[in-house]
Amino acid sequence: MTSPIQPDRPQLAVSGAIFRDGKVLLVRRARSPAKGFYSLPGGRVEFGESLHTALHREVDEETGLRIEILGLAGWREVLPGASGGGHYVIMSFAARWTAREPVLNDEHDDFKWLAPDALGDLKMTGGLLEVIEAARKLV
């Protein structure tokens, strides 16, 4: 089996802190990177695609939800580790749920709607709490 070729430049991605009735949607990654960790739905921006269009597409592909984007909540940079991995710049947006119930694709194996102050001991991707807190202020 050959390993995937890593891009030689950072990849642009988006994620959405989606709020519904005071709770935020978290999805658990079903595969690497960050398998078993809760995060926000999102993914890579395609060439020629606006950030908002990419976020609507990714949220639809991963959860089936319809959302209203409220504003930019922050950004994160993920650098390749010692064992490799990608280099990503992730633009995270605050969003409000508008329609449909979550139906996960194969990238995720669980979801939870949780109050931002009730995340407890969940295994979460780095910087997630800060993004959720910033997004909460925009909702």
Tell me how far CA of residue 38 lies from CA of 25, 62, 135, in angstroms.
Answer: 10, 14, 17
Q: What is the mean pLDDT of residues 41-65?
A: 98
Question: What is the homologous superfamily of the domain 12-137 according to CATH?
Answer: Nucleoside Triphosphate Pyrophosphohydrolase (3.90.79.10)
Six-digit token string for 21: 């009735």
90 DSSP assignment = E
Burial tier of 127 (Cβ tally within 10 Å: 0-12, 13-18, 19+):
middle
Domain ranges of the chain: 12-137
Per residue in 10-19, pLDDT (tens digit) is 999 999 999 9
Lowest-confidence region among 22-31, 108-117, 119-128: 119-128
120 contacts: CB under 8 Å, gap ≥ 6: none
Q: Dump pLDDT digits (tens) for 74-109.
A: 999 999 887 778 899 999 999 999 999 999 999 999
Is 92 in a helix, a strand, or coil? Answer: strand
pLDDT at residue 3 greater than cutoff 60: no
Residue 4's pLDDT is what? 60
In whole angstroms, give the CA distance from residue 106 to residue 86.
Answer: 20
Strand partners, 42: 15
- Of the chain, the percentage scoring pLDDT greater than 90 comes to 84
